[in-house]
């Protein structure tokens, strides 16, 4: 019996030894074959895409009724009251769109998709707001019917040496406001396309000889703890889009694969130059951080590309607390990283930055930024990305215009601004930081 068993075992081993090995299978994640793994990835992407579009449909539902919007009278001021505007170009023409929202640029995604967007200048808000106001549906021709009065005057090109260059004479500026008086002064508003009141002529701000001038509300890209001034968003790379174009950009950005932890794009200037230098050094030393050098030929193209590839975007303050990059990073699906507590108070009408950004406010965290970011759990990252998707519509200035259909339009930063400035003036709330 023993001999028989041994001989049978020998035959089995010999047969197994001579049997050909099976061809190796292409195995994907979780032991799946590659076709099955690819199918799983596609199914997951499809689910995420559907969920993202559903989120946008929900958040883009109309929040405001017609009664929420103010009736606005806009003064008919000559071009000398504006440093630049786009009124010389035909409506809806490419040249006008470029004047308003900047040149067309390409965005490339890891799935091979290519999209177009605009690249507006950070101080182009004056011309955008003026153009959108001209097609505003509750614009009134009679001042007697107006809730608010808009002063279309701004300076967006000056530097520190020519701050008030080209402003109309003081007396002429005052005479142009035929309906400005003691009773209507608090219902007047003006847009400064630069930080605080730096984009305005002195006749409309800071005139101590006229107490009524102090009552004019100023909409500006940055206003921290300034009574009577209200911060509204910079123009982002998603500006000038229809609703369909915007949603496609936001969804593709939400689904983009992010191979790097963080990215940054900043020079070395302003009161926070030491912080910026430290962040640059930390990013350079980290294997999972990208920095867009200002010496590159097209630093903005590099910044857009890196923002799509990174989970976090470093946004240190520079000459002032605000940065256009905070908003650009959001529409590209990159979570902003802020470094000063007051930064969280920017644009409170449009986005609660505490719900969409990471705050690293202490010197200890400033010196260990990459380690701090690596500690953030995946669940928190997903929550921040979902919140960005919910609020991204409110921080963009849509294309709009006379010919826009309901399907192409949406309640954008312009709508949010007008509704909230009217609420503030009605309720005599001049301190935006209390909102």
What's the pTM? Answer: 0.86
Task: Give residue 56's pLDDT.
Answer: 93
CA distance 245 to 116: 9
Convert the pLDDT of each residue in 55-92 to its tens digit.
999 999 888 999 999 999 999 998 889 988 898 899 88
Output the pLDDT for position 27. 42
Q: What is the pLDDT of residue 21?
A: 41
Q: Tell me: the pLDDT tens digits for 379-412?
A: 999 999 999 999 999 999 998 654 444 445 789 9
**Tokens standing for 156?**
């967006």
Strand partners, 217: 189
Q: What is the pLDDT of residue 169?
A: 82
pLDDT at 365 (0 to 100)? 84
The residues, any chain, with a CB within 8 Å of residue 406's CB and separated by 6 or more, are none
Q: What is the pLDDT of residue 11?
A: 57
Q: Answer whether 80's CB lies under 8 Å from 165's CB.
A: no
Beta carbons of 224 and 345 less than 8 angstroms apart: yes
Give the position of tokens 């999209």.
115
**Torsion sign, CA atoms 244, 193, 335, 434:** negative
Name residues of the chain where pLDDT drops below 50: 13, 17, 19-27, 160-164, 402-407
Specify the pLDDT at position 1.
Answer: 65
Taking Cα atoms as reference points, which of 103, 99, 69 lies closest to residue 85? 99
Over residues 210-263, the pLDDT tens digits come to: 778 889 999 999 998 888 999 999 999 999 999 999 999 999 999 999 999 999
State the CB neighbour count (10 A cutoff) for residue 65: 8
- Contact at 8 Å (CB) between 354 and 388? no
Q: What is the spatial distance between Cα 410 and Cα 45, in angstroms, rounded to a whole number? A: 26
- For residues 336 and 353, give the distance between their C-alpha atoms in angstroms, rounded to a whole number: 9
Q: What does the pLDDT read at residue 161? A: 46
What ranges make up the beta strands (E) of 79-215?
A: 104-108, 114-118, 148-151, 188-192
Reading the block at residue 105, the tokens are: 């640029």
């Amino acid at each position: 019996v023993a001999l028989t068993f041994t001989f049978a075992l020998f035959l089995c081993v010999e047969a197994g030894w001579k049997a050909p090995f099976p061809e190796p299978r292409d195995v994907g994640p979780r032991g799946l074959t590659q076709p099955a793994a690819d199918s799983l990835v596609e199914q997951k992407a499809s689910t995420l895409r559907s969920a993202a579009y559903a989120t946008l449909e929900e958040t883009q539902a109309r929040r405001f009724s017609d009664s929420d919007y103010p009736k606005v009278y806009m003064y008919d001021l000559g071009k000398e009251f504006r440093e630049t505007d786009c009124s010389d170009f035909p409506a809806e023409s490419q040249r006008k769109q470029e004047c308003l929202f900047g040149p067309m640029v390409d965005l490339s995604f890891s799935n091979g998709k290519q999209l177009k967007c605009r690249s507006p200048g950070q101080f182009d808000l004056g011309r955008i707001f003026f153009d959108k106001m001209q097609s505003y549906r509750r614009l009134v021709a009679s001042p007697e019917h107006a809730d608010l009065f808009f002063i279309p005057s701004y300076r967006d090109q000056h530097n520190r040496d020519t701050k008030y260059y080209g402003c109309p004479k003081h007396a002429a500026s005052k005479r142009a406001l035929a309906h400005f008086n003691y009773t209507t002064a608090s219902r007047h508003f003006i847009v400064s396309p630069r930080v605080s009141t730096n984009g305005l002529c002195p006749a409309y701000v800071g005139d101590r000889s006229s107490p009524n001038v102090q009552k004019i509300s100023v909409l500006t890209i940055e206003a921290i703890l300034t009574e009577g001034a209200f911060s509204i968003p910079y123009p982002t790379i998603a500006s000038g889009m229809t609703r369909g174009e915007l949603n496609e950009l936001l969804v593709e950005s939400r689904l983009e694969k992010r191979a790097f932890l963080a990215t940054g794009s900043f020079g070395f200037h302003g009161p926070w130059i030491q912080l910026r230098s430290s962040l640059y050094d930390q990013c350079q030393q980290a294997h999972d951080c990208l920095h867009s050098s200002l010496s590159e030929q097209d630093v903005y193209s590099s910044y857009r590309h890196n923002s799509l590839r990174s989970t976090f975007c470093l946004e240190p303050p520079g000459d002032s607390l605000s940065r256009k990059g905070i908003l650009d990073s959001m529409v590209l699906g990159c979570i902003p990283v802020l470094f000063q507590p007051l930064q969280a108070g920017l644009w409170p009408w449009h986005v609660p930055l505490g719900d969409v950004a990471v705050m690293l406010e202490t010197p200890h965290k400033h010196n260990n930024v990459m380690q701090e970011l690596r500690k953030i759990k995946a669940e928190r990252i997903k929550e921040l990305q979902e919140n960005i998707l919910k609020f991204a519509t409110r921080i963009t200035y849509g294309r709009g215009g006379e010919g826009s259909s309901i399907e192409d339009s949406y309640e954008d930063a312009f709508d949010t601004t007008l509704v909230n400035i009217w609420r503030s003036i009605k309720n005599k709330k001049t301190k935006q930081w209390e909102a």
